[in-house]
Homo-oligomer: A and B are copies of this chain.
Amino acid sequence: MFESAEIGRSIAKDVYEKEVVMLREALLEAQYELQQQGRFAVLILINGIEGAGKGETVKLLNEWMDPRLIQVNTFDRPTDEELARPPAWRYWRQLPPKGRMGIFFGDWYSQMLQGRVHGRIKSAQLDQYIDGTLSMERMLSDEGTLIFKFWFHLSKQQMKARLKALRDDPLHSWRISPLDWQQSRTYNKFVEVGERLLRRTSRDYAPWYVVEGADQYYRSLTVGRILLDGLQAALKSRERITSHPHAAPMISSLDERGLLESLDMTQALDKGDYNEQLAIEQASLSSLLRDKRMRKHSLVAVFEGNDAAGKGGAIRRVIGALDPRQYRIVPVAAPTDEERQQPYLWRFWRHLPARGQFTLFDRSWYGRVLVERVEEFCSPSDWLRAYGEINDFEQQMTDAGVVLVKFWLAIDQKTQLKRFKEREKIPFKRFKITEEDWRNREKWPLYRDAVGDMVDRTSTEIAPWTLVEANDKRFARIKVLRTINQALEEAFKKD
């Protein structure tokens, strides 16, 4: 895989200097066009052999182009805020918005490489990480991000010569850390793992470019050309290409029956039982959240449901016995313009709780496959691929110790009508009922199908859906609380 990048490629200085003038102008043009279109972001991942010119090339890109529109990020040591969340959180928070370029140093590949070379990651684990990487990059690409992955290469001899030269150069010697030298010894291992990474993660939507790094002119011009070609092609194709050959459009159930129809909606609790059980479950949740074992976990509860199904009321009962410093409620409304400049899931990633914390999402990332699907706010290919993206997202959470519970609060149409009418009558509830609610009601069958598909495709072992029969509010609230408590207890048991 790296053979053709060890043959000593080079370019004469005068050729380089002539070419570079035109290249710079074209790159600048492309960069401003990118900003003006504002349709997609560009992500450049920098990896490869130490001393192969990674840093120099990034510096050059900043010289050639307008550095104000380029964001360079390194990911050495995670901060404590980052350590308290799933590993990908630190990448998500640094993603470039549409119209901009982001350059990632020390990205997910470096983490895998360093981890594997130094034995912190086992071989099978590496494959898991690679799978995660593929999903992440696929998602980014589907969201319109243009991804370039560069591997700067040197043969072992080339590297040794280069590191020695750098060490002897007083202007550069500060840059050579002991780790880099150590890498000289582990060159073989590094290249072996690198090859495996490149082989498994080079895809049409996020290809690797191996660049021989020995000659600065060859290296710089190559990277510049690749970027320019990729940028120009993407800027020209005004259409997002999204093909999903294997995703047959879903059809509504032939018998007009679904999971929701099979719920026993008559379940109810009388007031006495309710009050007693509420006190027990609330006390239990309060003490579970104060449990020492909670320090290794965080808790995320997702509330979805029909309009007027009682999400708000259920949430209030869940937090009823908690100290407000322990939880945060995230009400999900229309995305802000900063959120619109990012991949869909970005606005949920930013709210993930740190370890020990509890976040309740009042509506959630499932909006994509519910309201956005039904109202056609996004294309079918967008919501069709969302199922997989969501499963990946949730796996990342649970892998990081997040206890995730998801509720669909279901009521029947009759109950909804009754509640809508009540809301219109009570002054302080009239805010809760709008024209939109009535419109949504007419789309009941569409929502039923959407909910069915959602549960079929995203109720997983690691993050099952809990369907809550919510015609009786008391029954629903207790079921919600009990489910959360059981999830925490099970998580603690496994520790």
B323 near A29: Cβ-Cβ < 8 Å: no
The 0/1 profile, CB within 8 Å of B marked 1, for residues 45-58 of chain A is: 00000000001001
A81 within 8 A of B: yes
- Least Cβ distance of A48 to chain B in Å? 16
A420 within 8 A of B: no
B67 near A323: Cβ-Cβ < 8 Å: no
A66 near B324: Cβ-Cβ < 8 Å: no
- Per the bound structure, the CA–CA distance linking A69 and B315 in Å amounts to 13
A68 within 8 A of B: yes
A71 near B328: Cβ-Cβ < 8 Å: yes
A32 within 8 A of B: yes
Instruction: Please tell me which stretch of A240-248, A331-339, A456-464 contacts chain B, meaning at least 4 of its Cβ atoms lie within 8 angstroms of it.
Output: A331-339
- Per the bound structure, the CA–CA distance linking A324 and B105 in Å amounts to 10
A316 within 8 A of B: yes
Q: A323-B55, A336-B338 are in contact. Are A316 and B81 (CB under 8 A)?
A: no
A74 near B325: Cβ-Cβ < 8 Å: yes
- Per the bound structure, the CA–CA distance linking A103 and B59 in Å amounts to 44
**Chain A at the B interface: SS class:** helix
Count A interface residues, CB 8 Å. 46
A79 within 8 A of B: yes
The 0/1 profile, CB within 8 Å of B marked 1, for residues 20-37 of chain A is: 000001001100100010
The 0/1 profile, CB within 8 Å of B marked 1, for residues 302-324 of chain A is: 00000000001001100110111
- Per the bound structure, the CA–CA distance linking A58 and B63 in Å amounts to 53
- Per the bound structure, the CA–CA distance linking A337 and B339 in Å amounts to 10
A84 (CB) vs chain B CBs: closest residue: B79
A30 (CB) vs chain B CBs: closest residue: B428
A25 (CB) vs chain B CBs: closest residue: B428
Q: A28-B428, A323-B59, A324-B62 are in contact. Are A329 and B362 (CB under 8 A)?
A: no
A88 within 8 A of B: no
- Per the bound structure, the CA–CA distance linking A427 and B24 in Å amounts to 12
User: Inside 8 A of A105's CB, which chain B residues have their CB?
Assistant: 325
- Least Cβ distance of A422 to chain B in Å? 15
- Least Cβ distance of A434 to chain B in Å? 11
The residue among A28, A62, A290 with the most chain B CB atoms within 10 A of its own CB is A62
A71 (CB) vs chain B CBs: closest residue: B328
A72 within 8 A of B: yes
A442 within 8 A of B: no
Partner of A428 from the list B29, B68, B74 (CB cut-off 8 Å) is: B29
User: Inside 8 A of A69's CB, which chain B residues have their CB?
Assistant: 331
Interchain residue pairs A-B with the least CB separation, the first 6: A72-B324, A32-B431, A68-B331, A25-B428, A28-B428, A74-B325
Q: A55-B325, A68-B312 are in contact. List 9 more A-B contacts (CB 8 A).
A: A32-B428, A55-B323, A79-B80, A80-B80, A103-B324, A171-B283, A336-B336, A336-B338, A338-B338
- 26 CB contacts below 8 A, A to B, read A25-B427, A28-B428, A32-B428, A32-B431, A36-B431, A55-B323, A55-B324, A55-B325, A59-B322, A59-B323, A59-B324, A63-B316, A66-B312, A67-B319, A67-B329, A68-B329, A68-B362, A69-B331, A79-B80, A80-B80, A81-B81, A105-B325, A171-B283, A174-B290, A337-B338, A338-B338
